[in-house]
Amino acid sequence: MKTTKLIALLIALLMVFSIAAACQPANEGGNNNTPAPAAPATTDGGATAPVETDPRPEWASYDSLITEIKTTTDFANRVELMHQAEDKLMDTGAVMPIYYYNDSYMMKSDMTGFYSNLFGTKFFAGVTVGGNTTLKLQIASEPDRLDPALNSSVDGACLAANSFGGLYTYGPDGLPAPNFATGYEMSADGLTYVFTLRDGLMWSDGSPLTAKDFEYSWKRAANPQTGADYSYMFAGIAGYGDADPNALQVTADGNKLTVVLSAPCAYMLDLMAFPTFFAVKQDQVEAAPGYLNADGTIADAGAWALEAGFVSSGPFVLESWTHNESMVYVKNPNYWDAANVKCERLEFMLSADDVAIYAAYRAGDLSFIDTVPNDEIQTLLQTNDPEFYVVPQLGTYYVEFNVKSPLFTGKTPEEASAMRRAFSLLIDREYICEVVGQTGQIPATSFIPSGMLNGNGGVFKDASGWNYPNGEDGYVGTTPEVEQAIALLESAGYTFENGKLSASTPINFEYLINESTGHVAIAECIQQDLAAVGINMTIRTLDWDTLLAERKAGNYDISRAGWIADFNDPINMLEMWITESGNNDCQFGR
């Protein structure tokens, strides 16, 4: 769907320049994780010394709440429980929503056969460009992981969807459609699924692909030793969490795959189309150099897919990979639906430099790009450029806080939460959407995105269905609420003089972003908003892979983040924060 929203260019430029003039330069820096508090120390006289305050929020109750949500069969109560979970998450202040996503890209007018879905996955198998079967494109910079079980990024999911396959996929209508399976049967209680695989399925090397491959792949992805960020997605299958990974109730018998659930799952077919549930070839995985340590434990579960030439199963196979520069995928003749794959070759430009990417597109060197420089958006909108697309997407752009950051040292959980919630109240979300986003983004007042379904026949963020702290809008407003922010900071022990933090109680921290003119502009807006009360935020830019690694390790204070839903149900955006989740970058419970 195209958008034709226009914003006065002159006003936007003046406002952006005013931000730039007020912003401070970014500094380099870093921090390590704060260790858990030690046991109470004693003085020489035997008296107990003061115990260091632990600023981390209590999180076992959240973990229990998510377990209850995933196992209940009362779907009306499930909706209420999910609201309770979001309340608890937002009360920590560690997730600061900025806006709800939409997706923009540029595509040549003679390019046909392309489609994407609400979750940001892009499908290129049916593409031709003016009758040419080679597509030159850009969707991201160097990918973090190509093993579908180890991927946790949207660009990685796009690569996985075009080179591997699941029992189901997404069709042009955005709905799950049979892929390696022809269909399924479900028991009356909704707990047992039996999927029937197609006859004659093959890996890209021509060897048979069977239901046994799916059994192996799921048990591998659910095994903690594999290190899959999304392993928690298997928690709905009976046997998950058992010390023996083979206890997972997934069984192959001929061309049948039987799956036994611990509770009915309304989004089961969406899971079947998700990369973590894709099949990988066992001998490829386990024979790779670097897979095992000397003691037989797993060293790197994804070692087999670090270079081109590995066996896959989808429409395309990776032929060459020049790291940080380019990737070339070619048509897989052994894909079950190869007859309908029109594109013969995908040539990816790997870059995060949106100015260079846009220049390459305008020069005709690329036919599809997934990013546009911020200062080009207004021209594209005002000229109604037919090659510029803005389409719906289900997700939230947000800021995340490391709850173990030294920034919160000496604070109680309540005081640390007050600090973070104060920061959120200072943000002018409407300004960010209008001046930086520019393509009709909606200011985010909660983490669960607007329009997400509730799993019980309705929309989750329905003003009539829940008493949000900020009324109908959610948890925060769309424009700054400075007095409330100052009051929260004062409750956390900070003092103010004439509306500014006093020199006796300063706040200084580093904000991490990855390279993009949009991320930089949003960071500068946040920097300016916080500076209004004397908070000093410096901005540090990292490459995408490094940013992911730093967030995962907890080596940061505050970072930009975004979450595109994996399926249309709030649990997807709530279960990612459980203690054991590989996507729990806020370090809750750790």
> 21-35, 183-197, 244-258: which has the minimum mean pLDDT?
21-35
With cut-offs at 50, 70 and 90, classify the pLDDT of residue 96.
Answer: very high
> For the domain that residue 520 is a member of, what is the CATH number?
3.10.105.10
Residues 74 and 152 in one domain: no
Residues 341 and 426 in one domain: no
Rounded average pLDDT over 376-396? 96
5 pLDDT higher than 50: no
187 pLDDT higher than 70: yes
Residues 445 and 398 in one domain: yes
CA distance 308 to 57: 44
* 382 assigned to some structural domain: no
* 583 assigned to some structural domain: no
Residues 466 and 572 in one domain: yes
The dihedral over CA atoms of 213, 215, 221, 223, expressed in degrees to the nearest 10, equals -130
Rounded average pLDDT over 135-152? 95
The pLDDT of residue 42 is 34
Amino acid at 433: C
Residues 182 and 219 in one domain: yes
The pLDDT of residue 32 is 33
- The pTM of the full predicted model, rounded to 2 decimals, is 0.88
The pLDDT of residue 466 is 82
pLDDT in tens, 468-517: 888 777 899 999 999 999 999 999 999 999 999 999 999 999 999 999 99
CA distance 331 to 346: 8
Rounded average pLDDT over 368-376? 95
Residues 284 and 319 in one domain: yes
Residues 415 and 529 in one domain: yes
Residues 332 and 193 in one domain: yes
281 pLDDT higher than 70: yes
* The domain boundary residue, chosen from 366, 382, 405: 366
* The domain boundary residue, chosen from 321, 349, 366: 366
542 pLDDT higher than 70: yes
Q: Do residues 447 and 95 make contact, with C-beta atoms less than 8 angstroms apart?
A: yes
Helix extents (H) in 333-437: 354-362, 374-382, 413-425, 429-431
CA distance 272 to 179: 9
The pLDDT of residue 464 is 62
The pLDDT of residue 35 is 33
* 45 assigned to some structural domain: no
14 pLDDT higher than 70: no
* 30 assigned to some structural domain: no
Helix extents (H) in 153-239: 154-163, 211-222
Residues 350 and 414 in one domain: no
Residues 557 and 458 in one domain: yes
The pLDDT of residue 51 is 53
Q: Which helix (H) or strand (E) holds 256?
A: strand 256-260
Residues 96 and 129 in one domain: no
Rounded average pLDDT over 82-86? 96
Q: Which helix (H) or strand (E) holds 552?
A: helix 544-553
pLDDT in tens, 436-468: 999 999 999 999 998 999 999 999 988 667 888
Q: 368: how many CB neighbours lie within 10 A of its CB?
A: 23
φ/ψ of 568, rounded to 5, equals -90, 70
Residues linked to residue 509 through DSSP beta bridges, in sequence order: 537
SS3 at position 219: helix
Question: Residue 99 corresponds to which tokens in the numbers above?
Answer: 């806006």
Triad 231, 233, 234: Cα angle to 5°: 80
* Pick from 538, 537, 549, 547: nearest CA to 514: 547
Mean pLDDT of the chain: 91
List, in order, residues 6 or more apart from 312 with CB less than 8 Å away.
Answer: 163, 164, 203, 204, 318, 332
Buried b / exposed e over 450-480, threshold 16 CB at 10 Å, is bebbbbbeeebbeeeebebeeeeebbbbbeb
* Pick from 348, 310, 304, 340: nearest CA to 179: 340
For 231, the domain range is 109-366
- Domain count within the chain: 2
> For the domain that residue 359 is a member of, what is the CATH number?
3.40.190.10
Residues 415 and 349 in one domain: no
With cut-offs at 50, 70 and 90, classify the pLDDT of residue 45.
Answer: very low
Rounded average pLDDT over 567-575? 96
The pLDDT of residue 43 is 35
Q: Which helix (H) or strand (E) holds 185?
A: strand 181-186
Percentage above 70 pLDDT, the chain: 91
* 128 assigned to some structural domain: yes
* 176 assigned to some structural domain: yes
* 430 assigned to some structural domain: yes
DSSP state of 53: P
* 165 assigned to some structural domain: yes
* The domain boundary residue, chosen from 350, 366, 382: 366
